[in-house]
Amino acid sequence: MTFSWLRFSELSLDDLYDALALRCRVFILEQGAYLDPDGLDRVSWHLLGRDEAGVLQAYLRVVDPGVKYAERSIGRVITSAEVRGTGAGRRLMTEGLARCDATWPGAPIRISAQAHLQAFYGGFGFRAVGEPYAEDNIPHIEMLRCP
């Protein structure tokens, strides 16, 4: 998988279309209706993972510190159904964390994780903070990764 790390203004029209289409397939069609374009894309980094054919298979965004949380925030973490179970999600998170650490060395990262993925994120050093809550009718938990 080849990764691109881009600010919103650097995304090509095809990058933006592919990212929104993948987010729609996973977050809206698979998980239920909600407003995906939330105004944070413009103040975020976007990590796009494409396969050898150039098809977007993995994506996440990193919201700048001080926008959603005091810390930088990883969100919209997704892989296409076609690559789930292949380790693509782990590769995506590993790449995302490396890009975060290069961009903001030593800074903590906060996420709003789907509760059933707590162990997955825990494997990357995230620890639950607070109590579970419902976000878009899906149980979530806030998690923090400190250097």
Domains of the chain: 2-106 (3.40.630.30)
Digit-by-digit pLDDT tens for the chain (147 residues) are: 899 999 999 999 999 989 988 888 887 777 677 667 788 999 999 999 999 999 999 999 999 999 999 999 999 999 999 999 999 999 999 999 999 999 999 999 999 999 999 999 999 999 999 899 988 788 999 999 998
Q: Model-level pTM?
A: 0.88
Contact between residue 20 and residue 63 where contact means Cβ atoms under 8 Å apart: no
Backbone angles phi, psi at 55, to 5 degrees: -85, 130
In the numeric block, the tokens 């925030």 are attached to 73
Segment (H or E) for 94: helix 88-103
For 1-147, strand residue ranges (E) read: 2-7, 44-50, 56-63, 72-79, 109-114, 127-128, 133-135, 138-145
